[in-house]
Structure formats: structure tokens, C-alpha cells
Amino acid sequence: MALDPMTHERELETIDFNINIGPQHPATHGVFRMVLVVDGEEVVDLVPHIGYMHRGAEKLSEFMDYRQAIGYQDRTEYLAQFNAEMTYVQAVEKLAGIEPPERSQYIRIILAELNRISSHFMFLGAFGVDLGIIGTSFMYAFREREHILDLFEEITGDRLMYAYFRPGGVAWDVPRNFKERVRWVCEQALIGADDLDKLLTDNEIFIARTLGIGRLSIEDAINYGATGPVLRASGLKFDLRRDEPYSIYDRFDFEIPVGKNGDSYDRYLVRLAEIHQSVRIVLQALDQLPEGPILPERLPRLLRPAPGEIYMRCENPRGEYGIYLVSRGTTQPYRLRIRSSCFANLSALKHMTIGHYVADAVTILGSIDIVLCEVDR
Amino acid sequence: MSLLAWGLFGVDMNVWLDAFLRLQLVVVVMTVTVMFLIYFERKFVGRIQMRLGPMRTGPYGSLQSVADALKLLTKEDLRPSTADFWLFELAPYVTFIPAFMTLMALPFMEGWGVRNLQLGLFYIVAVSGVTVIGYIMAGWASDNKYALLGAVRSAAQLISYEIPLILAVLAASMVAGSLNINDIIYLQDTVPNIVLQPLPFVILMIALLAELSRRPFDIPIGESELVGGPWVEYSGIRWSIIFALSEYALLWGMSILTAMVFFGGWEWPFGTRSWWGDFDFLYQLLLIFVKSFLLILVVMWVSATFPRLRIDQLMAFCWKILLPFGFLQVMINGIVLMYLKDSEVARDIVLFLTSSALLVAMGYVIYWATRQAPREVRVGPEYALGSISR
Amino acid sequence: MIGVLKSLGLTMSTMLRKPVTIQYPSAHRSVPERDRAFPILLWDFEIDESFCTGCHACERACPVECMTVTMMDNPKFAEGKSKRRKILDEFFIDYARCMRCNICVEVCNFDAIAMNNTWAGHELSVVDRKDLVMDREQLLALSKTRQIRPWVPS
């Protein structure tokens, strides 16, 4: 099918078929619309349409003071809330020059890593459903996720929208049986990860559906700005917790799983391995958890950081989540810009999908693991 | 109770009336079984997923199928205004009636079937292939491009998987030397065909999954992409004729056939020893139902566990793996049966060994094929020039 | 073929585990002490009035502006029975806007508002959206009837 160099039209008259995998669809994670132009069964072009879930989180945050705006971070990244809150709260602390006490740093790390585990479980469940196992992988993954969410409910009071971190520390202390509960949850998480491993990893049908699908080379990943498991699966060992350690990550010992080919199978394997590494971090942090206060002594009622700007980035389960914060010295941020990891990862979708079949488009979208609220904010 | 052995009610009646009454009995049993199977699948799949399944309607949710049927009967019967009227209306029936016609040739007990056909196996396989026409009719008549896409894919899949199905039952009937199902069962009184022919059994189970459009072969009703496939415009009782009745009736019918051809039907282990005197038929019925039920369990178990194959992988699996191995099995059967027709024990042992060897070879080929690097991506992003706002 | 058989073995083994779901309307799972449903007001039984004085602190701190508070002079202060000069007159919370962030509980000087930690706080379906705007009596109802032991973070 050669292209006429003048008019960019194809010389042989064929009609391409447009398939609209529309905003309401069981397979797109959230309200995401992609229009596939297919030639027979092969995808020739892909046009993504986003913005169905734009709710103006950044603009609304300009009318909130620094404590009230934490709620919006939860709702932007609704599967990795503690990681998003941690990014925001650290950005505010750096601007205001507050140092959170040790105990709250450890609590933050433990909760953020547990949240990473629960987010990866959500991916494992949803990936199975995208491939066609209606229900089985979902139930196994959610069984473990329920344990983690129950733990969070005992600590913070809410199952999904915590608003627990504050600039300076955490809002209130953890309950007395924290250590035993976290240890038990970690054990269950390992059992669950093992279950899903047995269900999917060596399954020939799963391998046939994901091996070699949606290849992304290292250069392309860097050019598109992909970060997180997508980048690590392509082969680059880059993790912000190791390369630009924030909070107290430099005190823990963990590995960074890296893939070889950058296809969907590698992205799945990388996330499965990250669950084990997160459990490692949590157990180390539990051993080192000190007693003490959770908020600094003199914390003003309404925070007024010094005028300035900061860009703080953290390693979310989906990649690099960044907060660019500009303060004019008032109680409300002047500009709060969220650098969304899923947005950059999603921009590589067209490059990854062209040449594959229609069914693979759904697989690749599932393997990038997007959260629509983060793409659209 | 030898009343039931020939003619209903022991009276020599008109041949047509006799056939009609037997048919009614089979219909009643089929309907009850289908309703039970729907409920059972939901409970079973629920248990696999560590949840409860239906619990509210009736004790432990046992009246769920009745509730579903009532709900579907009272739904609005939609038809797109641009749909081709006759094709749209008739498509569900064209799918369902062949599924039911296969039940006519099955001997449920010794000597009792609706009709005892000399070409029983041939009839069953031929008739179950007519369902494809129903799929294409539905897809075309719905005036919906996604339905058409689903119908074309499903036609390709169903037609392709007919051939391994035929080869598998052919291999088994070669061992018996006849296409009459009663004969095949009689010749399994000491050792069932599953021992002699494991490879055709596996091929038959896989082809059965594909014929019923169950996972891992459910691209036509692919719920994650083209939701519903060719039946996307159907609603109410019409939809349930396909998804409930014809799928489960065909599942039940084919699993009874598999139980008869490969597991010895009502004969093995002790079916015709006349231990029970006149109540022998009860034991035979029990054997048949238990065996077919276990096979249905296996089908549901497999269906709940695996992701679905992509359409090209599905076709490749059929034409490049199942078909060559089916042919090899038939050829080897022919050779063995020709040269070893004197000694039965030697023939059995050689059949078992060759078939198991082929089964292991097929497993190895599947393993090797899935680890291959996939085909090169032929179209790159350069092709998509200037197509941003098409 | 081995991977396929492993998956089948796994699903058979999970079938033998206890189901993890419960039958919801007949059986409820227990909510923890810190559960954070919608806010309710607390009743002071010693003096027989609400703790809330209507000081507007929570109303100002609410991110979504879901509260409306008015205060009045406390008749019991004039009689000498209570130490609160002003008392709550009307208090409206729109549960449809509330995002349950807990900030109103944190800023309250009198520990007068707390998050509902019972199942009643979660089972709030109404037919008309206007019914989700709770007034003073509805907010005080649970505390007046001594049905809850709220958890206020220290």
C-alpha cells in the first residue's frame, strides 16, 4: 500500500475501518476513547481522545489552603493516594522549611509502599480482565487489596480517599496494633502475589497474548517521557527512590526489577516483582520504626510558605509524579501543577500499538496501567 | 420396567407418535438440565473466584434460572428498524434447533434413544455445523458493523474447529469400526476409549470449547472488545435462546456424546451385567449423567481460568496444531488397525502408546510455539502520516 | 502445557477455600473505630445542649463549603446553667458535597463535631437529593440517642 508522495493518499482504493473503542467501554480504564483505524485486523492508526474526566483539580487547588488541597491529590490519583499525597506534602514542606519528625517519615514510607502494593494488585486484576478472564484474576487480586484497604481504614478511617498526610507529618498516630497488622497484611500480599503468579505467568495463553506485544525501546521510552514500570520494563534501571532519594528511602535496601524487551509481558513481570520489593521495604521500615511525635512542635495553624517555587517528584506506582508548586507567601498556592505520569506513558500508546491487531490494543492499554483521573486531572 | 426399553408405555403405537413422545421426553429433560446447568455454572465459577454465587432467589439461589427466565420473558423485544426482518427473527432459531437435533441420535440407555441411527455420529457432527448459519444471519441482519465483524469472526472460528472435531470422533469410531453410537459403546465393555485414544479426547474437548464459543475461544462474544459479537442487538427471550438454551443444550449434548464415545457411555464399568435385573436402566442413566456431568465440570473449569486467544492465534492453533495431529492420529489408527486386527490386546497396547506419544508431541509443539518471538511488526509509525484528524 | 495445568490447579485449589464475600444486607462487616463516614454533631448530656457553639471555624475550614452555621445567644447562659455564651442555632451540612476529609473535626475548638463511625453513616440512600442536606436535629440525632461512641483524633 504505497503512499502517493503528493497527496498522501493510497494508490489502491481501499476503505479503512474505524473502530471506536468509546468512552463507555468495559476495557478502557476509565473514560478514555480511542479510535482505531484498522486495515482488516491490523491497526494502522490510533487517535486517543482524553479529557472526559477533567475536573480542574489544579485550578481548584488555587482556592484551597495547603491542608485543604490534600483531598484533591487523593482524588487525582485514586489508586496510589499515599504516593500522591506524599509528593504534595513534601513539596510544601520543602518550600516552608518544615522538617517532619522521624516517626511520621517512617509511617509515610510504610503506607506509601503498601499503597504501591495495592495499586499493583489492581493492575494484575484488571490486566487479567482485559485479556479475557472475566472475574477470576480480579477476585484474587481484590481479595488481597481488601486486606490492605481494611488496614488503611483502621488507621485513617477511609478506604480510598485518605487525606491523612499533613505538611509536617501525618494527621494522627497509628493504632497500637499497627506492627502486627502490617506484618499480617504483608504475608497475605505475598500469598496473593503468588496466586496471581501461578494463574498468569507461565500460562501459555497469557504468554501468547502478551509476549512481544507493544514493544517500546529504551530510546522511544525516554523520548516519550515514559517513567515507572513502563521505562523499567524497556530496560532502563531508573527509579527515583534510588537515583534521587527523597524522604528516607536511602535507609532501605531493595532491588529494582528491570525487564529486557519492553513488551507487555515484561511490564507485567516488573510490576509483579515490585510487589515483593515493596514488602521488603515495609518490613525493614517496621523494624526501624521509632517512637516519638508525629508532628513538629511549633506548627502554625495556617501555613504560609515563603515565596518561591519548587518541583518535587516521587516514584508513584505508575511513574514519576511531580508537583510544581509556586507560592506567593499566602495561605493558598499560587500555582499547583501536577506532572502526571500516566499522561506521558499514554502518549506512547500510538507508537506501541501500530502494527498490532485490534485485540492487542486493549492489551497494551491495560499494560500501561493508566488512571484516567491522573491523565485528565 | 422393560416398558421403557422399546416404545413408550409398552404399547405398539404409530411410529410417528412414538417418535413424538420420545422427543417430548428428551425436550423436558433437556430444559430442566439446561436450567440446572446455568445455575450450576454460576455457583461453580463463583466458588472458583472465592465468592458465593447466587444466594437470594430460593434456598441457596436455586431458583435463579427461573427468575432469569421470567425476567427475560417480560423484557421488551427490540428489533432495529433497519434490520432485515426475516433474517433477524429467524437467526436464533437457526442456532438453537440444530443444537437440539443432535439430541435425537443419542442413545441414553441401552437401546433407548429417540432414533437409533446407523450413521449416528455422522448425523450429529453434520447437524451441529448448521449453527454457523445462524451466527452469520444474526450478524448480517443486525445492520451493525460490530455485529458483522463478530459474525464473520465467529463463522471463521466455528467452521475451522469443525474439522478437528470430526477427526477426533472419526479416530474413535475407527477403533470401533462403526459410526453407530450403540456399537461404539458396546465395544468399550472392558476398556474405555479414553485409554486407547487420549489424543482425540483432548482434541475433542478443545474443539468443543471452540464450538461453544467459550473461553479461551470466545472471541465472537469477546466481552472486552466487541461486546456481544453477532448477538449485540438481541434482547429478552430471543437472546436467551442463544446464550442460554443453545449453548447449554449443545454443551450437554456434546458432553454426553463425549462420555459415550470416549468413556464407555452406559456400558463401562458394569453397565450391562444385569445385576439390577429390570432396573438396569437406572444404573445406566446414572452412569451417563455422572460422566457427562464431570465433563461439563471440566469445561466450566477451563472456561473460568483462561484468558482468551486472539483471533489469529485461535486460527493458527486449529490449522497448524490440532489439524495435523488429528490427521496423524487417523492415519496411525488406520495402519495399526489394519495390521493388528488379530490380537486385541496387542492392538490396544499399540493404540495407547501411539496416541499418548502423539499427545506428548502436541504438548511439546504448543510449548515451543508459544515461546517463539512473534512476527515482525510490519507497519511502522511512518505509515500513519497526516492521519491525525481523519 | 505445564503453565496451563498450573493455572488449572490453582483455580481448583481456590475452590476449596472459604468464600470471601458475605451477604451484604443480611450481614454487615464490622467497621473499625476510626471509620470516617459523614460528620455529625455531639450532644452534651450534662448540660443538655449541643457542644457546638456555632463559631464558624469548621464552616471556614471546609474545602467544599458544605456547611451553613448560625449562632444565637445562649438562653442557658443567661440562666447561669451553662458556660457557653453563644450556642448553635441552625446547622446545615450538605452530605452530597461533603468529601469527608476530617478537617472540620480537626479545627473544632470544642470537640463538638465528629465523624460518624457506624453503618448508618454509610447507608444513606435517598430518593431526592434535597434530603441529603441534614439539619440540626438530624445531625444531633445519633448522639442524643447515645448510639455512637465517636473517635476524635487527639
Is the pLDDT at C152 greater than 90, yes or no? no
Cβ-proximal residues to C121 (8 Å cutoff; 6+ apart), any chain: C35, C37, C38, C40, C115
Domain boundaries, chain B: 1-74, 77-384
Give me the mean pLDDT over the B285-296 stretch.
89
Secondary structure percentages of chain A, helix, strand, coil, to 5: 50, 15, 40
CA A52, A54, A58 angle in degrees (round to 5)?
170
Q: Does C105 touch chain A (CB under 8 A)?
A: no
Residues of chain B with Cβ-Cβ distance to A196 below 8 Å are none
Whether A71 sits inside 8 A of C99 (CB atoms) is yes
Query: Is the per-residue pLDDT at B104 higher than 90?
Result: no
Q: What average pLDDT values come out for chain A (377 residues) when binned by 10 residues? A: 57 67 74 84 85 89 88 88 92 89 92 93 89 84 90 89 88 89 92 87 85 86 90 89 87 88 88 91 91 84 87 91 90 90 90 86 88 87
Q: Which residues between 74 and 103 in chain C have a beta carbon less than 8 angstroms from any beta carbon of chain A?
A: 99-103
| Surface of A (225-254) touching C: CB under 8 A | none
Domain range spanning residue C96?
Answer: 34-144
Per the rule left: phi > 0, alpha: psi between -120 and 50, beta: everything else, B180 is beta
Average pLDDT over residues B225-242: 76
Q: C92: Cβ–Cβ under 8 A, 6 or more apart, which residues? A: C67, C68, C69, C133, C134, C135, C136
Does residue C29 belong to any structural domain of this protein?
no
Neighbours of chain B (3+ CB pairs under 8 A): A, C
Beta carbons of B302 and B22 less than 8 angstroms apart: no
Q: How far apart are CA A155 and CA A151, in angstroms?
A: 6
Nearest one of B231, B209, B255, B218 to B94, comparing CA atoms: B231
Span B56-72, pLDDT tens digits: 888 888 888 888 888 88
CA distance A15 to A266: 35
Per-residue model confidence (pLDDT) at position B52? 86
The mean predicted confidence, pLDDT, of chain C is 85
Cβ distance A43 to A364 under 8 Å?
A: no
- Assess if residue A118 is contained within a domain: yes
Selected residue with higher pLDDT from B253 and B11: B253
Closest residue of A to B224, CA-based?
A27
Per-residue confidence (pLDDT) for residue A208, from 0 to 100: 83
Residue A36 DSSP one-character state:
E
What Å distances lie between residue B328 and B171, B179, B200, B333, B336, CA to CA?
10, 20, 11, 8, 12
Cβ pair A206, C5 in contact under 8 A:
no
Asked whether the predicted pLDDT for residue B10 surpasses 60, the reply is no
| Interchain proximity A201–C9, CB inside 8 Å | no
Q: Which residues of chain A does C101 touch, with a Cβ-Cβ cutoff of 8 Å?
A: 68, 70-71, 161, 163
C8 contacts in chain B (CB < 8 Å): 301-302, 305
* A84 and A323 Cβ atoms separated by less than 8 Å: no
Q: Give the pLDDT confidence score for residue B296 in this predicted structure.
A: 93
Task: Say which amino acid occupies B268.
Answer: W
Look-up: residue for cell 417418535? B19
Q: What is the pLDDT of residue C22?
A: 85
Assess if residue A358 is contained within a domain: yes
Q: How confident is the model at residue A5, as a pLDDT?
A: 59
Comparing CB atoms, the residue among B51, B366, B367 nearest residue C21 is: B51
Position C7 in a domain: no
Taking an 8 Å cut-off on Cβ atoms, the answer to whether B378 and A41 are in contact is no
- The residue-averaged pLDDT of B250-255 equals 91
What's the pLDDT at A13? 56
Contact of C103 with C61, CB cutoff 8 Å: yes
Per the CB < 8 Å rule, is A139 touching B49? yes
pLDDT above 60 (res B9): no
pLDDT digits (tens, 9 = 90+) for B341-351: 777 788 888 88
- What count of other Cβ atoms lies within 10 Å of the Cβ of residue C146? 9
Which pLDDT belongs to residue B163?
92
Pick from A133, A258, A108, C38: nearest CA to B214:
A133
Which is more confident, A88 or B9?
Answer: A88
Describe chain C by its helix, strand, coil percentages, rounded to 5: 30, 20, 55
Pick from A356, A369, A362, A375: nearest CA to A39: A356
- Model pLDDT for residues C59-116, shown as the tens digit of each residue: 888 988 889 999 888 888 888 888 888 888 888 999 999 888 888 888 888 888 888 8
| CATH number, domain containing residue A252 | 1.10.645.10
Q: Give the DSSP letter string of C115-132.
A: E--SGGGT----SSGGGG
Nearest Cα neighbor of A355 from A215, A207, A208, A224 is A215
Q: Higher confidence at residue B4 or residue A127?
A: A127
Percent of chain B with pLDDT over 70: 87
pLDDT in tens, A281-320: 999 999 988 888 888 888 887 888 889 999 999 999 999 9
Nearest Cα residue in chain B from A35: B390
> Is pLDDT above 60 for B5?
no
Query: Considering the domain boundaries, does residue C25 fall inside one?
Result: no
Show which subunits contact C, needing at least 3 CB pairs below 8 angstroms: A, B
pLDDT at A284: 92
C85 occurs within a structural domain: yes
Average pLDDT across chain A, whole number: 87
Q: Which of residues 28-57 of A touch B (CB under 8 A)?
A: 37, 41-42, 44-45, 47
Q: For chain A, what is the domain count?
A: 1
Greater confidence (B165 vs C154) lies with: B165
Contacts with C14 from chain B: Cβ below 8 Å: 48-50
Count of Cβ atoms closer than 10 Å to residue B68 Cβ: 18
Q: CATH number of the domain that C114 lies in?
A: 3.30.70.3270
Starting at the edge strand found earlier in the chain, the sheet holding A319-327 runs: A308-316, A319-327, A335-339
pLDDT in tens, A227-255: 989 999 888 888 888 888 888 888 888 88
Q: Which residues of B touch A130 (CB under 8 A)?
A: 224
Is A262 inside a domain boundary?
A: yes
pLDDT of residue A118: 93
pLDDT band at B390 (very low <50, low <70, confident <90, very high): very low
Cα separation, A22 vs A369, in Å, equals 18
Say if the ipTM goes beyond 0.90: no
> With an 8 Å Cβ cutoff, are B304 and A47 in contact?
no
- Note down the domain range covering A180: 59-376
Residue A76's contacts (CB-CB under 8 Å, 6 or more residues apart) are A57, A84, A338, A340, A373, A374, A377
pLDDT-derived band at B385 (thresholds 50, 70, 90) equals: very low
**Contact criterion met (CB < 8 Å) for B312 and A41:** yes
Which residues 134-163 of A have a C-beta within 8 angstroms of C?
136, 139-140, 143, 146, 150, 153-158, 161, 163
pLDDT the model gives residue C112: 87
Q: Name the pLDDT band for B277 (thresholds 50, 70, 90).
A: low
Domain count, chain C: 1
Q: Is pLDDT at C26 greater than 80 in this prediction? A: yes
